[in-house]
Amino acid sequence: MPSTPSDTREDSPPDAPGRTAPGVRIGGLSVVYRTPAGELPAVRGIDLELPPGTITGVVGESGSGKSTLALSLLNAVQPPGRISAGSVQIDGLGDVVTLRGEELRRARGRHVGYVFQAAQNSLNPLKPVGRQLLDLGRSHGVADLRALVREARDLLGRMGLDGARVLDSHQHELSGGMRQRVGIMFALVLNAHLVVLDEPTTALDMITQATILRIIREVHEERGLTTLVITHDLGVVAEVADRLAVMYGGRVVEQGPTRQVLGDPLHPYTRGLIRAIPRLVGDIGEATALPGRPPTLATIPAAGCVFRERCPLRMDLCATQEPPTVAHGGRLVACHAVEGGIREERAGAGNHGGQDGAGGPDGRDGAEDPDGRAVAAGAREEQA
């Protein structure tokens, strides 16, 4: 697919101001869900910064709170959930947690673009894509709808689709990969400079996955976006993300530059995740599942470390005290063991896991080398 990075600015919608990539600062964010057993935390005390112009990946198992975190960026946590504490500061928008009604509606779509999982149906099945594009334009008071349609066609064309034809199609006439590109188009067409992608490649085949990831990277660079990618697939993160946050039980347990986190993981959970990835070459038995299961909303421990039940490095302290997030070089890690300097012992520890764990051989690509991204990307290409 030819990429044409030169011509982007001229044909963006006329009444969208030329913005630059916004920075995002999430501070002390907590989200609780109302259940018969009371309000339970899905996301607890998250501090995360998305520097302007970067791609940040968030990985974690199902139920780790990563999608809830993504929805929080648009203040769109669905009932019975609600944001109970914290703030999400977005440059040019302010704290979205305090936005309400029309203000909030206008911010969605125009300032923050959101891309759904591919397998999900994010389009109205009864209307052609083009009509839904016009609905979007009218909702955001776009004066020149023709320019909007032109912009959409261009975007689709850049992603390798026949724009006019796609705009004329209904959802059921498009393949999964095409729908996903349409979703990306919808997130970008109003010139939003913060884009949140929730599981952008889940349920897509390997080749389409690779295409979508390339498109994400290209569009990100072309348009100068700040991008957040939510996934359970370490391979995806290794391929596109500059920075990486690992979530477990509603907490960010480790975050930092992708290469550092994947190449030299500090938190025992990150290490477990990477060890659980089956390699393309070598013995399948080398992949070790993480013992135990991830906590659900009801079983997240109220006190102490969320990961202690499955942790090979667990200490007495872990049951009573929540590990503080501590800086290690360019990285933030929340673990008593790492803090206590047990790092050196980690190589020998914790390899006694059974095969029944839910640690999830979700990820397909390995990344144990210091240069995590290169390895994972290489493996991906071999498969594709």
Point out which residues bind other proteins (CB under 8 A): 74, 76, 78, 105-110, 114, 116, 120-128, 130-131, 134-136, 138-140, 145-146, 149, 164-165, 167-168, 170, 172-173, 183, 186
3-class secondary structure, 252: strand
CB atoms within 10 A of CB 273: 26
Q: Which is nearer to other proteins, 227 or 258 (CB)?
A: 227
Q: Which is nearer to other proteins, 172 or 352 (CB)?
A: 172
Quick one: 66 or 108, whose CB is closer to other proteins? 108
Question: d(Cα 69, Cα 182) in Å, to the nearest integer?
Answer: 23
| Closer by beta carbon to other proteins, 121 or else 321 | 121
Please choose, from the candidates 24, 39, 92, 1, the residue with its C-alpha nearest in 3D space to the C-alpha of residue 228.
24
Nearer to other proteins (CB atom), residue 140 or residue 181:
140
Helix axes of 145-158 and 129-139: crossing angle, nearest 10 degrees: 130
* Distance of closest approach, residue 262 Cβ to other proteins, in angstroms: 30
Least distance in angstroms from the C-beta of 182 to other proteins: 11
Cα 340 to Cα 239, 255, 313, 322, distances in angstroms: 32, 18, 11, 14
Nearest Cα neighbor of 130 from 102, 149, 115, 113 is: 149
Q: Considering the complex, what minimum distance in angstroms separates the CB of residue 258 from other proteins?
A: 26
Shortest gap between Cβ of 102 and other proteins (angstroms)? 9
Q: State in angstroms the smallest separation of the CB of 87 from other proteins.
A: 20
Q: How far apart are CA 27 and CA 332, in angstroms?
A: 14
Phi/psi of residue 122, nearest 5 degrees: -100, 10
Q: In what order do the strands lie in the sheet with 81-90?
A: 38-50, 24-35, 81-90, 94-95
Give the Cα separation of 25 and 90 in Å (integer): 7
Q: Shortest approach of other proteins to residue 267 CB, angstroms?
A: 31
Give ∠ CA 185-133-11 in degrees, rounded to 5.
Answer: 60
CB of 27 to other proteins, least distance (A): 22
Identity of the residue, 17 or 125, whose beta carbon is nearer to other proteins in the bound complex: 125
Q: Toward other proteins, which CB reaches closer, 134 or 317?
A: 134
User: Any idea what DSSP says for residue 246?
Assistant: E
